A and B are shown apart, each in its own frame.
Chain A
Amino acid sequence: MVPARRKTPVPVEEAVRPRGSNGVVTHRPVHVELGLSPERMLEMFEVMLLARIIDERQWILNRQGREAFHISCQGHEGSGVGSAFALDLGRDVMVPYYRSLAAVLAFGVTPLEAFLSALARADDPMSGGRQMPAHYGLARARILTSGSSVATQIPHATGAALASKIRGDGGVSIVYFGDGASSKGDFHEGLNFAAIHKLPAIFVCENNHYAISVPASKQMAVRSVADRAVGYGMFGASVDGTDPLAVYRSVKEAADRARAGEGPTLIESNVVRLTPHSSDDDDRRYRPESEREEDRQKDPVHVFGEYLRTHNLLTTAAEAALRRRIQKTVAEALVQAEAAAAPLAETAFDHVYAGLRVPDFRAAREH
């Protein structure tokens, strides 16, 4: 039997709708309420779509044997983009995890950079080909380097927020992690420290309800990760993470509180995992088809596209044109990345320490 999943996010209080002079409620669209212009809305959609198309391409590369490993962002795009768009790219710090493709694209990673990294080329700006795909980090974009250990990045966001507070630079640090990470000590120690010192940090748990095969019901006894916020004395919210506008609203409020010195926020962003855990996993072993189909109905890219069409922000023709444009950008980026050189073997000995190459024993192979 498959354990029951928690389907319904804890409802977010709906914003009070303004009333006209005759007392009749005027149903302003959410994006208008949030102050998001049509152009900004289309930018959000474009990044979500870009993330999806890059991600789909990476699955193909993996199945063709051109990318040894892939771990997907599919289903997390609304959460990543909604949150990143609520921040200030000029001063805020992002601490990503392996499902943060959409978030890092929104923060300034280019499609070419994404592929150079996925294909482990010399010019991969994340790691120079040292790390597996989806280990994001880009100094230029204020995205901290990330490893594979689950949850270790959470206290890093606390530390980055501490640095912002000490310098008084007005920066906020946002960190992403999954539901599995909420079980680790790093989560507790990172959140507790941030709450005590009222640090400008935003902790976003992208709860896709599975840690590989283990369902959220076996990960926690609380109904929502956000319930834990009260235990740390910080603000908590649980939102529909497939809706970029719900995530935008929640992160914007959290960032405003953080900048006002009111401390950190824990946000549970309820997303869907539209793929197996990784390219080495087969989720049919532990998820029934009905449940996976249900998730597909909540695909954030489709749902947001529907919102844009409903509010006349996007026509079917314009969407088709946008898709063609992104497909072209992605195809070109991939061609360029594939043509790029692999890292030179001797670079493997660099950057263990600053300004010091570790000894290279390869000379011995020649004798």
Chain B
Amino acid sequence: MAILSLVEAVRQALFEEMEVDASVIVLGEDVGVHGGVFRATDGLQKQFGENRVIDTPLAELGIAGVAIGAAMNGLRPVAEIQFADYIHPAYDQIVNEAAKIRYRSNGTFSCPVVFRAPFGAGVHGGLYHSQSVEALFFHVPGLKIVIPSTPFDCKGLLKSAIRDDDPVLFFEHKKSYRRLRGEVPEEDYVIPLGKADLKRPGRDLSIITYGVGVHLALEASERLAAEGIDVEILDLRTLLPLDTDAIKSSVARTSKVLILHEDNKTGGIGAEVAALIAEECFEELDGPIVRLAAADTHIPYAPTLEEAILPNADDVFIAARRLAEY
């Protein structure tokens, strides 16, 4: 089986879906001739032509709005926002239009657009090349939000997202683009949206996380195992709709929960997961629900500053050990 990086998995998924479905198009800044600033769309224009792989003007609202209109007229656009930090001008189009098209038309129109965007910190990107924006969309009915943590998941989830009949925000952690490599089957396969994945079974506590959090948790889990603490790692993969059954089963198995994400803490995904557990799994709990997340700051550029505000594997180790001892 081929070993691919995360960005190569993105490219392979796009390539395969464009090949089998002529209604799939790719549009965004620099996605054509250049192949994308992270090379995610490299070679696509050469293969599928300028009509289907479109270099757009530098205008995110327009990219989103045009993709939505094309979707209502029969296409399945994959719109790339070059950095998640620049998705905000498209917020109105995504939240007021894409998310509401099915509902407001009583199911007579749909909006099968995938909005892809690299996101996340740890690459010295400063305030405007590091943001996590998932929580800003998490509150919006009608949207789906997917964050893959491995190349294998990435290919299968992106293919599902493209085939999905609803708008999907597909966020790819840019620090993982090249550093993260893994086995990816060359054949066609899909991973269903809305299903979390148990990345590591364990007895003592559950770490519920997604994206790079999965890798911080895996790293910490080995040190924890050495101390006799056996953690379970649940990778949410799809944030919206949330796989509430998987969360509840995990809590039932371990009775202790550490929720981990790189996005800042207040009003983040962890708040919803914690509330869900408090409401529906109160009797199962043997300790406080703990959240580990970035500080409620912006993402600073200098390494000393950036490292200070982001959770790392040591933080996960410490938080998990403390919770295990509770």
Contacts and interface: CB of A to CB of B under 8 A. Distances in A.
Interface of A: 93, 95, 124-131, 135, 137-139, 144-145, 147, 149, 152, 154-167, 171, 173, 185-186, 188-190, 192-193, 196-197, 350-354, 356, 358
Interface stretch (B62-70, B183-191, B196-204, B261-269): B62-70
Contact of B51 (A95, A125, A165, A354): A165
B102 A353 contact: yes
A160 B72 contact: yes
A155 B105 contact: no
A345 B69 CA distance: 30
A123 to B, nearest CB: 10
B241 A189 contact: no
A140 B298 CA distance: 48
Given A166-B51, A354-B102, A185 B108 contact: no
Given A147-B96, A155-B61, A160 B102 contact: no
B65 A350 contact: no
A358 B74 contact: no
Contact of A156 (B51, B74, B97): B97
Nearest to A135: B104
Given A144-B109, A145-B72, A130 B241 contact: no
A196 B108 CA distance: 31
A137 to B, nearest CB: 5
B72 A189 contact: no
Interface residues on B, range: 35 or more
Contacts of A137: 104-105, 108-109
Given A152-B97, A354-B102, A166 B25 contact: yes
Contact of A354 (B52, B66, B72, B165): B165
Contacts of B61: 155, 185-186, 189
Interface string B31-60: 000000000000000000001101011010
23 contacts: A127-B104, A131-B104, A138-B108, A144-B69, A144-B72, A144-B109, A145-B109, A152-B65, A156-B65, A156-B97, A158-B65, A159-B68, A159-B71, A163-B73, A166-B52, A186-B65, A190-B62, A190-B66, A193-B56, A193-B59, A353-B102, A354-B107, A354-B166
Interface string B89-101: 1001100110011
Given A166-B70, A192-B62, A352-B103, 17 more contacts: A125-B106, A127-B106, A137-B109, A149-B92, A149-B96, A149-B97, A152-B96, A152-B97, A156-B66, A159-B65, A173-B69, A186-B93, A188-B59, A350-B107, A352-B102, A353-B144, A354-B107
